[in-house]
Each structure stands twice: as C-alpha cells, then as structure tokens.
Amino acid sequence: MESLKVFIVEDDKLYGDLLRYHLSLNPDNEVFLFNSGQDCLDHLYLNPDFISLDYSLPDMSGLDILQKIRAYNPKLPVVMVSGQDDVETAVNLLKEGAYDYFVKEEDTKNRLWNALKKVRENLELKNEIDILKDEIGKKYEFRNVIKGNSLAITQIFNMIDKATQSSIVISLFGETGTGKDLVAKAIHYNSPRSSGPFVPINVSAIPGELIESEFFGYEKGAFTGAVTRKKGKFEQANKGTIFLDEIAEMDQNMQTKLLRVLQEKELTRVGGNATIKFDARVIVATNKDLSEEVKKGNFREDLYYRLLGLPIELPPLRARGNDILILARYFLDQFCKENGLEKKSISKAAQEKLMHHSYPGNVRELKAIIDLAAVLSNTNEIGDTDISFTKTSFTNDLLNGEDTLAGYNNKILNHFLSKYNRNVAMVAEKLDIGKSTIYRMIKESEL
C-alpha cells in the first residue's frame, strides 16, 4: 500500500513537532504539520488519509473545522485532540463524526499511533475488497461465464447486455443445468449495482414455515429461538441484487406477501411493526413454464406479470451445436489444471460421441462426463471409450403402464429426436426407417 498522508493541526509548535516526529517514525507515513485551522483547510486538496486536529485553535473552533472537513470528505478519519477532559464536548464531537477524542497527555502520541495503525488496516482491507470485487467483475464477464459462439448463445449475450443497462426485473427460464445462476451473477457484476451485494436464494430449499423470516427477517422474540434481531435476504440485498431461484416452487401465501413487498418496495420483519424501505434489483429463475403454472392456478397471475420484466430463455445444450465441444475442451482444461494433470485433448471419436448425446442434464451433465473421462483416460487424449453416459430408465418408463402401439411409437420417436437434436436423417438411420415415415409420424402425432 502507498504511504498514508497524515495532517497534524496544532498551534503549539513544540507539541506539534513532537507528534510529527513520533508519527514519522513509520516511514510509510507522510506527515504534514499545520498551525491553524485555515491552513489545514487550504491543503485538503492533498487528500489526507488521517487528521489529528487540535480542538482549541486561535482562528476557528475545532467543531467548525471538523464540519468543514466532513463536508469535503465525510469518510476522512479525524481525531480531535484537546487539553480539556470534557465528556460533553467529546460526545458532541463524536456525534458530529469525529473518529475519536483524545485528551492531551503523556500517552496521546501512542494513542494517535494506534488510531493511525487501525486506519491503515481498514484502508488495506478496503483495498483488498475493491480488488476482489474487480476480480469478481472480470470473472463474470459474459464470455467468461458462458462459453460458446452458437447463434443461441450470441442472442443470450445480447439480452444480458440489455439487462445490465437498467434495473428492470429479469426472469430466467430454461431447463435444469443450463446456467441460470451464472447468468444472474453475470448480470449483477456487469451492472451499475456491481459494488452492492449479490444475494441468492433457492426457494425450493427453504421450508414453508421459515421462508417469510428468511426473506424479510425477524425481530427478537418473534418466535421461539429468535434471541436477536435478524435481517432478511431482501434487506441484505439493499443496493444490490436478490436472485430468487426456483421461484415457481413458492406457495400461494408467500406469493401474496412477495407481491406486496415488490409493489411497495418496503417490508416488515416478522414480529415487528416498523416499515423498512429497500432498494434491490430482482432476478428470478425457474425451469417451469410460469404461464402454464398460472393457468393451472399454481402461480398468481399478478405476481407473474410483476416478475416477468425482461425474460431470457436459456437454450438447452442439445440446441447449441458446436458449443458442446467448446465447453468440453474448457471443462477438460479446467479439470486438468485444478488436479495437476498434464493437458489432455479430445479424440475425434470422442468428439463424435459427445455431439450425439442429448444431455438431459445440460451443461452440468457435460462437466460431470468430462471430469470422469479425464480420470478414466490413461493417456493425454480422451478416447470414445472414456466417455460414459449415465444409463437412463427409458425402457422402464416406456413400459410403465399401458399404451397403444401408436402411443409407444410416439414416445420412441420423441426420445430419439430429442437425443439426436432433431436430426431426422440420423434418427431414421438409428431406427432403420425412412425419413418420410418420421415426417408422417410427426405430422400425424402433431409433434
């Protein structure tokens, strides 16, 4: 960290020289001595990091100087030093924003030293946090979050870019494993709210009886076990973003309460009466069709329109073409690096095998497949025998219950069309039937 600029404002030259000498013993401190309040104010353009201010100066009162300093920079730590041990004065100065109040005595120089040490530690911590936030922002740049160059992903990049330019509610739709949580983080960390908190909540993971207190917090004594006040997730997300994942799993009672909170932009903690304003951007996600949930009566229509905002539909992996191989190489490089393995490649046969899988688990499934392949491979190249797909219970599901022959044909055709990314020629080859038969079945089944 760079040196700290320290101002000492003291009209007693001998005492001022003593303080300057003592604080200058740390070579990381750049100490300036001023003998009047106005002289100090005239040099605030130097942007000091710490000020030791004598309360009794000949040209103006310590309180006046403190107020002017606070007007210039309200976060600048100012320690008031006085020859009088006056409790009332000390309290008033602290209320006005003084960092601390010291009485002039033998130990004052050491107390200033310790106060300056604490300020340095706080500045170093702030710098570390700023660096971390900057790194997080870079980590969640769009193309660092979502790998691929397919048309579907390019369209997602365009939607994310629009999402970052305002605080409109964002609704993310897509199958499980398509990366809705990563997109939510990318939107937050690339928006004007990036310096604020990102607070994620998985709605389906919270028991119904606890969800209100988890969302809105509670007061001490609100219920058994509430031994202290606790802020809820919405308060924690103030000036930032709250991400409500699996929003379709919220019960009707909580939907009503959430609607009111979103409309009023204020909440009341459980067991409390005070109204608390909050300012948080809302992003929601679900793998269900919310409009269908509204039709079924499972989701409030007014809440649906309140949350719809800017809808972003994340494509399943099977619809992203060559992105499968881009992601596979990325996951393989990542796994090898994290586990100290030599860099591996993916053979042509393995690539073909990867491209012909339907990925019901989407990107998450692909990562698991590649991680396992890296472990199974005995060379620096992933072979097709190293690629292992989880066995499904398709046969059992197919024969569970009774159906017509046409119904079974319909299910089989749907399965293979999904598995091979609706490639009719490939499905015809796998099932040993003509393409025209498939087209006819599609037409007759209204698929």
Which CATH number is associated with domain 147-313?
3.40.50.300
Our measurement of the distance from residue 315's CA atom to the centroid of its chain's CA atoms, rounded to an integer in Å, reads: 22
**DSSP string of 122-159?**
HHHHHHHHHHHHHHHHHHTSHHHHS---SHHHHHHHHH
Nearest to 218 by CA among 278, 280, 273: 273
Residue with tokens 């996951």: 331
Fold that domain 317-386 belongs to in CATH: Helicase, Ruva Protein; domain 3 (1.10.8)
The answer to whether residues 297 and 253 touch, using CB atoms and an 8 Å cutoff, is no
Give the whole-angstrom CA distance, residue 393 versus residue 20. 79
Sheet with 4-9, strands from edge to edge, namely 29-34, 4-9, 50-54, 78-82, 100-103
Report the relative pairing of strands 170-173 and 198-202 from DSSP bridges.
unpaired
| Helix, strand, coil percent content, the chain, rounded in steps of 5 | 50, 15, 35
Phi, psi of 148 (to 5 degrees): 140, 160
Residue 39: how many CA atoms within 13 Å on its side-chain side?
15
121 is written with which tokens?
Answer: 């530690």
Q: Comparing 4-130 with 147-313, is the CATH topology the same?
A: yes
Q: Are 31 and 24 in contact (CB under 8 A)?
A: yes
From first to last of its 447 residues, the chain has per-residue pLDDT tens of: 568 899 999 988 888 899 999 999 988 889 999 999 999 999 998 889 999 999 888 888 888 999 999 888 988 999 999 887 778 888 888 888 899 998 888 888 888 999 988 888 888 777 766 656 555 545 555 566 678 888 888 898 889 989 999 999 999 999 999 999 989 998 998 888 988 999 999 999 998 888 999 999 999 888 887 888 889 999 999 999 999 999 999 999 999 999 999 999 999 999 998 999 999 999 999 999 999 999 999 999 999 999 999 999 999 999 999 999 999 999 999 999 999 999 999 999 999 999 988 898 899 999 999 999 999 999 999 999 999 886 554 444 455 455 677 777 777 787 777 667 677 888 888 788 888 888 777 766 555
Closest CA to 246 of 213, 287, 216: 287
E strand segments, 253-317: 266-267, 276-277, 281-286, 310-313
Other Cβ atoms within 10 Å of 91 Cβ, number: 11
Closest CA to 39 of 65, 71, 19: 65
Where along the chain do its domains lie?
4-130, 147-313, 317-386, 394-445
- 4-130: which CATH topology? Rossmann fold (3.40.50)
Tokens for 430, please give them.
């796998």
Rounded Cα–Cα distance for residues 65 and 67 (Å)? 5
The letter for the amino acid at 242 is I
Q: Which residues contact 124 (CB under 8 A, 6 or more apart)?
A: 1
For residues 177 and 369, the answer to whether their CB atoms sit within 8 Å is no
pLDDT, position 60: 87
Query: Would you tell me which CATH number, out of the four given (1.20.1300, 1.20.58, 1.10.10, 1.10.287), belongs to the domain 394-445?
Result: 1.10.10
How far is residue 13 from each of residues 8, 54, 56, 162, 417, measured CA to CA in Å?
11, 12, 14, 60, 89
Structure tokens at 176: 């499980």
The answer to whether the CB of 169 falls within 8 A of the CB of 307 is: yes
Q: Which helix (H) or strand (E) holds 344?
A: none
Cβ contact 271:219 at 8 Å: yes
Q: Is 229 helix (H, G, I), strand (E, B) or coil?
A: coil
How many residues are recorded in the chain? 447
Partnered with residue 284 across adjacent β-strands are 171, 244
